[in-house]
Structure 1
Amino acid sequence: MTDLFQEPEDATPLEPHEREGLLQTWITHRRDLNEAEQENIVEGAAWARRRASLKRMLSEDFMQTLHKRMFGDVWERAGTFRTTERNIGVEAYRIGVELASLLSDIRYWIEHETFPPDEIAIRFHHRMVAVHPFPNGNGRHARLTADLLIERLGGERFSWGGGSLADVGELRARYVTALRAADNHDIAPLLEFART
C-alpha cells in the first residue's frame, strides 16, 4: 500500500498535523483523495462562475472562500491560510500582506492595461503560486483563479497543457519548468504552457 499523502517530488509536502482533518473516511488511497478533491473543485468552480464579479474576485475574502469551496468537502482546514513554512512560498506570517499586495497590483494592471489580459491572468497565477497561501491545493487554486480572471476580462479559459497536472509526468514537469522560468522573470514559457 502506498502512502496516501505521498506527493510528487516537486509538490508541497503536508506537515503531519496538516494530514489530520480529512473529512471523508472512505479515502484510503491517493487516487481516492484525488477523486474527492476533483469533485469538490468542480463544485467550487461552478459556485465561483455564478457568483464572482471582478471586483469581488479580487479580494482576500474571495480567495479564502474559493479555496473552501474547492476543498471544504474533503479537508477541515480548507480556506484557512497555512501557518507553517514550506519548500515554496512566502513565510507564513507574510501571507496576508503579500496577498493584499498581489490583489492591489492586479487591480492596477487591469485599470491601467499594464499588460494584455492573458498576461495579467498568468502573472496573477504565478504570484498566487509564489505566495502559496494554503497548506494544500495552491496550484489548482491559482489555475482556477487565473481562469476566472481571464473570463472576467473577456478571454477564454486556459488549457494548462491540456491534461491533468496532478499526475507525475512530462506535463507536470513542463508546468514546473515554466513556473521556474517565471520565478526568473521570464513569463513567456508560462504564457505558452497555459495556452497549449
Structure 2
Amino acid sequence: MTTTDLGGDEDGQTPVDADDAQYLTPEYSDLRTRGELNDAEASNIVDALLWLDDQGPAPEDLLHQGFLRELHRRMFGDVWSWAGQLRQRDTTIGIAPSQIQEQLQALLGDVLFWVEQETYGQSEISIRFHHRLVFVHPFVNGNGHHARLAAGVLAETLGLGSSHLSWGAHSGQPVAEARLQYLSALRAADRGDYTLLLTNAVS
C-alpha cells in the first residue's frame, strides 16, 4: 500500500456521496455539494487552529495518540460523526484497521526517539512524521490535512516556526501542479527517498 492514492480536487458542484452523507453531523446533514462540504470543513479547521494556539504543546505532548485524535476531532468534528475515531474499515489507502493502533504507537515512539537523539534534522523529522502518518491513514478521511497540520505543529515545537512547512504554498505554482508534485514526493518517500518531500514541504 502506498500513500499516493489521495484523490484529486473535487468539482465544487459534485454532489456529496450518499454513503458519505450518512456520517454528516445533524448540523451539516443538509449539505448537498462538495463545494459546500469543503467550506464547512475549512471553517472547522480554522476553529482547530484557534484551539492549537491555546494548547502550545511541547513535542512530548504532541506525540501521543490522544492528542492526535483530539486534533482530528477538532478539525472535523463539527462536520463528521467519525472525527477523531480510529478507522474501523478497510480503505484504498492505509494499513489494515487491526494494525492502526500498534503502528501509530510505533510511529510516535520513533519520532520521539529521533527528536531526543537528533537522528535527523528538525525539518526531516517533521516530514518523516508526516509521511508515516499519512501511510498509516488512521482515520476514515481527512488524513492528509491532519498529517500536514500535525507535522507543522511538530516543526513549530522543534523551533522551526509556525510557517516553516508550507507544502508548496510559497512556490508560486498553480494549486493543481503543486498537488501533483506533493503526490510525486509522497511516492518517492514510499520508496525511502525523502528528498522531494522535504523540498516540497519547505517551498
TM above 0.5, yes or no, is yes
What residue in structure 2 maps to residue 30 of structure 1?
Answer: 34
Once residues 132 and 117 of structure 2 are traced to their aligned partners in structure 1, the CA distance between those partners, rounded to angstroms, is: 19
Query: Pick from 10, 14, 17: which aligns with 1:2?
Result: 14
Report if the CA contact (8 A) 1:49-1:148 is conserved: no
**CA displacement 1:51-73 (0-9 Å, x = unmatched):** 12322211000011100000000
The question of 1:144 aligning with 2:156 is answered no
- Gaps of at least 5 residues in structure 2 are 1-12
Q: Secondary structure at the match of 2:150?
A: helix
Give the superposition deviation at 1:125: 0.2
Q: Which residue of 2 aligns with 1:170?
A: 177
User: Which is worse superposed, 114-123 or 44-53?
Assistant: 44-53
- Among candidates 110, 120, 135, match of residue 115 of structure 1: 120
Would you say the 8 A contact 2:15–2:32 is kept in 1? no
4+ runs deviating over 4 angstroms: none
Distance across 2 between alignment mates of 1:63 and 1:106? 14
Distance 1:38 1:159 in 2: 17
Q: Is the 8 A contact 2:84 2:139 kept in 1?
A: yes
How much has 1:83 moved relative to structure 2?
A: 1.0
AA of the residue aligned to 2:149: L
- Measured after TM superposition, the shift of residue 2 of structure 1 is 2.5
Give the share of equivalent positions with the same residue, in percent: 43
> Please, what TM-score do these two structures have when normalized by structure 1?
0.88
Distance, in Å, in 1 between the alignment partners of 2:53 and 2:113 is 23
Partner of 2:6: none
Contact 2:21 2:29 (C-alpha < 8 Å) held by counterparts: no
Deviation string for 1:49-100 (max 9, x for gaps)?
A: 3212322211000011100000000001100011111221111110000000
Higher relative contact order (CA 8 A, sep 6+): 2
3-state SS in 1 of match to 2:66:
helix
Is the partner of 2:168 in helix, strand or coil?
helix
Residue 130 (structure 1) aligns with: 135
How far 1:25 sits from its partner (Å)? 3.0
**Structure 1 CA distance for aligned equivalents of residues 182 and 16 of structure 2:** 23
Shift of 1:173: 1.1
- Other-structure match for 1:62: 67
Provide the aligned C-alpha RMSD in A: 1.8
1:140-193 deviations in Å (ceiling 9; x for gaps): 000000000000000033111108xxx982221111111000000010100000
